[in-house]
Structure 1
Amino acid sequence: SGCDTQTVVNNNGSTEYGLFQINNKIWCRDNHIPHSRNICGISCDKFLDDDLTDDLMCVKKILDNV
């Protein structure tokens, strides 16, 4: 995504959001996949702003689950 926090990439039926390209099937919730696992407990659009605090909290959860 470069350094653009507003990047949204559609990929094989799912969407990646923000600087860290956090996926909506597992990590966050959006209107495209209503039954997301939403492990980070957050709306995907929160990853599109300049506040990286919530992004980094989710990235930590992702790394803890890998």
Structure 2
Amino acid sequence: MNMPLNAPPKPAVSASPVVELRQYTLKPGRRDTLIDIFDGRLIEGQEDAGMTIIGQFRDLDRPDMFVWMRGFD
């Protein structure tokens, strides 16, 4: 699986005792729409709730796959 990281992990990542891996298989052609929503609306709410967004990943071999990780304190 060829998955580049969109942004470097935050230093606080190592301090998160619980890490959640979330994987989504999307309808063809919809990944960029989800990423726009994720970046524009979801990250801030997650951080406001005390979660750390560790990173988001795009599988270059599977354009219908989106993966992200978050940490909980």
TM range (shorter): under 0.3
- In terms of Rg, which structure is larger? 2
Name whichever structure is richer in strand by fraction: 2
TM-score of the superposed pair, with normalisation by structure 2: 0.24
